[in-house]
Amino acid sequence: MSKIDNAHDRPGLARIVIGVALLLLAMGLLSDLYLGLPVSHGAKSVLPWLGGILGLGSLCLLGEGAADWVHARDKVTDPLWRRVLHLITLLALWGAGSFLIWLLLKVVI
């Protein structure tokens, strides 16, 4: 097989990459709208705006995944120390995400 034949075996790869980029863009736009449009109003040109929106979307997606990961391990039957540890982990992830969003906004604006 030649390299050209191998390229036609995976036509869905470009579709997946475009889909993930559009998902991050949509989540970033919604998050920017929820925060009061600081990225859209503060960006000096299109490239920092696009980077800020994609970064904001990826941070939101990462936060959703981390929150679901912590929530899936938290059971009512667990001892109190383990439930408190899950709460501390969730709050630490929230704090780290908030700090990263603040840092992203400071870089873009």
Tokens of 78: 């667990």
Q: Residue 14's pLDDT is what?
A: 77
For residue 7, what pLDDT is reported?
53
For residue 31, the model assigns a pLDDT of 75
Tell me the average confidence (pLDDT) per consecutive run of 10 residues in the chain, 109 residues long: 56 78 81 73 74 78 80 83 87 84 74
Q: Give the separation between CA 1 and CA 4, rounded to whole angstroms.
A: 8
**What's the start-to-end Cα distance of the chain, in Å?**
50
In order of 52, 62, 63, 72, the CA distances from 17 in angstroms are 18, 17, 20, 28
The predicted pLDDT at position 4 comes to 56
Burial class (CB in 10 A: 0-12, 13-18, 19+), 53: buried
